[in-house]
Amino acid sequence: MKKNGETYRIIISGGGTGGHIYPAIAIAKAWNERFPESEVLFVGAEGKMEMQKVPEAGYPIEGLRIAGLQRRFTLENLSFPFKVLDSLQKARKLVKNFKPHLVVGVGGYASGPVLFAAQRKGLPTLIQEQNSYAGLTNRLLAKKATAICVAYPQMERYFPKEKIQYTGNPVRKDILDLTGKKEAAWKKFNLQPDKPVVLSIGGSLGARTLNEAMLESMHGFEAKGYQVLWQTGSYYFQKVSQQVRDSGLQHIHPQEFIKDMDLAYAAADLVISRSGALSVSELSLVGKPVIFVPSPNVAEDHQTKNAMAVVTQGGALLLTDSMAVRELESLVHALLQDPEKQQSLSEAIKKLSKPNAAVEIVGVMENLVQ
């Protein structure tokens, strides 16, 4: 059996959103901890956030011209076939020159051409599906994939049962243990220890409905003695900050982006969040009461499906995007007044957590390369 000094070559392809990129980086780091001499090459889509985030994490990345097909007719769609052909050609060249022992696809535009090129050469391929609803590309590639790592049970609806490994989604290490971080969190975010903390997170760019619902609810939250730690996202930060200042509210704390998410989670008594795959995986580890407000603007409504996978197990509450502005305040208040409900939600969501996901995925990868 090959040991840690082995120079394996691994390609990890995909990206487009943090939900694809951060698990990919976590897998790469866990693989390098196991096999420090390995070479890991990322392949992403030109102009997407992976082209910045992956080098920041210390890994080389190659970009493909691939882009998505727009749902309405645009001039962009006319160039789509050419971008696909160009990306397939470049993917074939990358696979030929890099000679990987294994190719991992994490979803996103770049995943398709690279896995397809590897499968055509008979190389082992692994799909890491983060969502409870498998996307079309992964469903097509699954037929020839060697293994498929999933984050939710019952994924044999989409994939061949014998290839599925239920590993969970890899998440940041700093949130695996929040004990003893509350005091640091109060200090960091200027919070008072004796008032409940409501944490609202809508992604790095922000979520319009969540921000509108929070603006509608913030006076009521302050009047009831709650504090709000609120990640507005970059698009909405100026507007929200101005409105909070103009309202003279003392305990509403808008942040453009929260870097120390472990501290934010440690401070929170209740979390309001979109239900992207990574958020759901993180929140199951955090084990706080959660209200999911799924984004309606994602392919095949997979955020609702992610949230429902938790809600049906009694692990979270669901508030639809269309009802959020009207009903968020009363739902938060009802939950914060009900300690038994908070505890049952916390216990149920924690049962769904997979804290060793990255290590388990590396175990599957190791079997494939040996």
Q: How does pLDDT run across 268-309, given as a tens digit for each residue?
A: 999 999 999 999 999 999 999 999 999 998 878 889 999 999
- The predicted structure's pLDDT at residue 1: 40
363 is in an annotated binding site: no
From the list 190, 200, 336, the residue with the least C-alpha distance to 279 is: 200
72 is in an annotated binding site: no
Taking the C-alpha atoms of residue 184 and residue 48, their distance in angstroms, rounded to an integer, is: 34
And the tokens for 242? Answer: 């101005």
* Burial readout 55-93 (b: 16 or more C-beta within 10 A, e: otherwise): eebebebbbbbbbeeeeeeeeeeeeeeebbeebbebbbe
And the tokens for 208? Answer: 């319009």
From the list 44, 40, 43, the residue with the least C-alpha distance to 31 is: 40
Tracing tokens 């979270």 back to the chain, one arrives at 316
70 is in an annotated binding site: no
Taking the C-alpha atoms of residue 335 and residue 331, their distance in angstroms, rounded to an integer, is: 6
Rounded to the nearest angstrom, the gap between the alpha carbon of residue 58 and the centroid of all alpha carbons in its chain is: 20
Q: What are phi and psi of 273, to 5 degrees?
A: -150, 155
Q: Which domains does the chain have, with CATH numbers?
A: 9-169+355-369 (3.40.50.2000), 174-350 (3.40.50.2000)
R_g (Cα) of the chain, nearest Å: 21
Q: Are 46 and 90 in contact (CB under 8 A)?
A: no
- The predicted structure's pLDDT at residue 40: 98
- Tell me which DSSP letter residue 81 carries: H
- Tell me which DSSP letter residue 206 carries: -
Residue numbers of the chain with a pLDDT score lower than 50: 1, 3
18 is in an annotated binding site: yes
* β-strand partners of 45: 64
Taking the C-alpha atoms of residue 268 and residue 289, their distance in angstroms, rounded to an integer, is: 9
15 is in an annotated binding site: no
And the tokens for 269? Answer: 């008594």
280 is in an annotated binding site: yes
Compute how many other C-beta atoms are within 10 angstroms of the C-beta atom of residue 143: 10
19 is in an annotated binding site: yes
71 is in an annotated binding site: no
Angle CA 134–136–137, to nearest 5 = 105
Taking the C-alpha atoms of residue 198 and residue 221, their distance in angstroms, rounded to an integer, is: 9
Q: Are 115 and 135 in contact (CB under 8 A)?
A: no
* β-strand partners of 253: 229
Taking the C-alpha atoms of residue 29 and residue 299, their distance in angstroms, rounded to an integer, is: 29
- Say whether 100 sits in a helix, a strand or coil: coil
Tracing tokens 């997407």 back to the chain, one arrives at 48
217 is in an annotated binding site: no
Report long-range pairs for 281-284 (Cβ below 8 Å, ≥24 apart): 281/130, 281/151, 281/168, 281/169, 281/171, 281/353, 281/354, 281/357, 282/171, 282/172, 282/175, 283/316, 283/349, 284/310, 284/315, 284/349, 284/350, 284/352, 284/353, 284/354
The predicted model scores a pTM of 0.89
88 is in an annotated binding site: no
Strands across the sheet containing 197-201: 252-255, 227-231, 197-201, 270-273, 290-292, 317-318
303 is in an annotated binding site: yes
DSSP E strands in the chain: the ranges are 9-13, 39-45, 61-64, 102-105, 125-129, 147-150, 164-166, 197-201, 227-231, 252-255, 270-273, 290-292, 317-318
* β-strand partners of 147: 126
Tracing tokens 């669901």 back to the chain, one arrives at 318
172 is in an annotated binding site: yes
Q: What are phi and psi of 10, to 5 degrees?
A: -125, 135
